[in-house]
Amino acid sequence: MTLSNIDGIASNAQSQPEAFEFCDLPTLISISAKQRPSSTAVVDGTLRIDYSTLYAQVLKVSAALQRTGLLAHDCIAICAGSSYDYLSVFLGALRTGIAVAPLAPSATAGQILAMAEDANAKILFVDESTAAALAASESPPHRDIQMIFFGDAKQASFSQWLAETDTEPDEVCIGPDWTFNIIYSSGTTGTPKGIVHSHQMRWLQLQYMPHFGYTDKTVTLIATPFYSNTTMTTLLPTLAFGGCIVILPKFESGAYLELAQKENVTHTMLVPVQYQRLMNFPDFGKYNLDSFFVKFSTSAPLNAALKSDVVSRWPGTFVEFYGMTEGGGTCMLVSHLHPNKMHTVGKPIDGHDFRVIDENGHELPRGAIGEIVGTSATMMLGYHNQPKKTSDAEWFNDEGRKYIRTGDIGRFDEDGFLILLDRRKDMIISGGFNVFPSDIECVLNQHSSVQDAAVIGMPSADWGEVPVAYVVLKESSSLNADDLLEWTNLRVGKTQRLKGLRFIADLPRSPIGKVLKRELRDSW
């Protein structure tokens, strides 16, 4: 697929979606099962599941949930690695009008149970790894939560639970305002918050996706975890339009490229650290990736040099999205169309509005630096069970329109492209001056021996806070920390000078690639 074939993506995706009559995702899947029953819906290892088989499994899960006593508006939680079974449970719950809380297996046992309880989940589906972590935990749930196990569990296994049902599920008419999912934030800033999305929000998101080439010929490689909203943005439209999902449970560069070539993948969503590892993979150029139509990136900042590398060496277009799981707006950069804007995250798509506000909530003019707030039709219903935090996340303009605070600091350039500077909580105030860690990180990453870098603020009796850095060196480097410190401080402003620098094997990251700066501050 040549770039000339996809130049229309930018202008088409900027237009607002047409107002189609609401339809829920399980119904869309049932249509594909009737019209193209033998078309492949899911590839999971050696499993190749067609739409007829997928929807039959969805109905079976739906019937099993009803037999177990769950009703519409109840909730289940899933904490497991990505798999066909996981997907069928998710879709079967939606078919029953039940909300799904997908939980991160990387969380502690106590956090997993706390999130399941917060969601008021009636059943917690787990894999062997999560089951072992929960069994070893000294923090039992505060109420009874039925557990069902994926894999070869001797008791309460998913296959046994499913086999006990041989009846058709009752019909459920799903309302647009019903809860689709409760996605818990990554917890990089503390206790995870449950972000509630409705079926209507997911439906509205689907309306944009044909502009990105989603059809029944789409083949999407999923290499990010199912519990992440990042994954939902490509998984859901693929199934909604009758395409094929290819599951890679654990990301590894060679395995990803092998699968992409084998399955003739057309679409994918990856986070920046995955792009970094793929582009640094020695054998990247040996794989045929000509089938790719479009690649997406989101969840964390992506530096301009890496964007340019992806555009030059990976066929198909490359689109960066900026937004939040909470919703409130999306910016988009179609990279090959704007080679001089690689340092930005693009412009708001049509119908999405962003503003910049100061610390007192006053709107700032274009070019001024402040907190970014956004609004659109695709916004969360709120944080589950946390009305105060929901209220704190909202900002209203003079006309009373609601915006969501992103917590990001940035500005718009003269052409209306958004430049991200940093997270508000990560900004360093040194001697009364605002210091943005991303500016210093950009300088560090220009050194030929630096693979990755993160700058944090640490307390200082003299200055309030001072910047310090953690750096990951390239394998071949023998660079001295003091030399890198001196090199950097010669290239930054006086208030930006590092007061300390340490080498580290890898930066701590969330499973979707965000640097856990809180952990770095704790370990300094």
Q: Where do you find CATH 3.40.50.980 in the chain?
A: 25-40+48-199
Residue with tokens 């039992």: 140
Q: What is the pLDDT of residues 129-188, one digit of tens each?
A: 999 989 887 766 667 889 999 987 667 899 999 988 778 999 999 999 999 999 998 644
Q: What CA–CA distance (Å, rounded) separates 448 from 96? A: 55
How many C-beta neighbours within 10 Å does residue 505 have? 6
Q: Where do you find CATH 2.30.38.10 in the chain?
A: 347-422
Long-range contacts of 107-111 (CB under 8 A, 24+ apart): 107/79, 107/187, 107/192, 108/133, 108/137, 109/133, 109/134, 109/136, 109/137, 109/139, 110/137, 110/139, 111/187, 111/192
Q: Give me the architecture of the 25-40+48-199 domain, per CATH.
A: 3-Layer(aba) Sandwich (3.40)
Contact at 8 Å (CB) between 271 and 513? yes
Q: Where do you find CATH 3.30.300.30 in the chain?
A: 427-523
Tokens standing for residue 242: 């009758």
Q: What is the pLDDT of residues 498-517, one digit of tens each?
A: 999 999 999 998 877 788 88
Lowest-pLDDT choice from 137-141, 218-222, 475-479: 137-141
CA-based nearest residue to 487, from 522, 523, 447? 447
Q: Decide: helix, strand or coil at residue 484.
A: helix
Tokens standing for residue 420: 């991200």
Fold of 347-422: Luciferase; domain 3 (2.30.38)
How many C-beta neighbours within 10 Å does residue 376 have? 23
Q: What CA–CA distance (Å, rounded) separates 216 from 206? A: 14
Tokens standing for residue 287: 């794989």
Tell me the average pLDDT of the chain: 91
Tokens standing for residue 333: 């950069």
Q: What is the pLDDT of residues 480-492, one digit of tens each?
A: 999 999 999 999 8
Strand stretches in 127-214, DSSP E: 146-149, 179-184, 194-198
Contact at 8 Å (CB) between 410 and 419? yes
Tokens standing for residue 65: 């949930």
Q: What is the pLDDT of residues 302-352, one digit of tens each?
A: 889 899 999 999 999 999 999 999 998 999 999 999 999 999 999 999 899
- What is the secondary structure of 5-67 as a DSSP string? HHTHHHHHHHSPPP-PPP--HHHHHHHHHHH-TTSEEEEETTEEEEHHHHHHHHHHHHHHHHH
Q: What is the pLDDT of residues 7-32, one digit of tens each?
A: 455 445 554 444 568 999 999 999 99
Contact at 8 Å (CB) between 303 and 275? no
Report phi then psi at 154, rounded to 5. Answer: -75, -25
- Size (the chain), residues: 524
Amino acid found at 479: L
Quote the pLDDT of residue 154.
67
DSSP secondary structure letter of residue 200 = H
Read off the pTM: 0.86
Quote the pLDDT of residue 302.
86
Does 364 have pLDDT greater than 90? yes
CA-based nearest residue to 474, from 444, 498, 496? 444
Query: Please, what CATH class does the domain formed by 427-523 belong to?
Result: alpha beta
Q: What CA–CA distance (Å, rounded) separates 424 from 410? A: 9
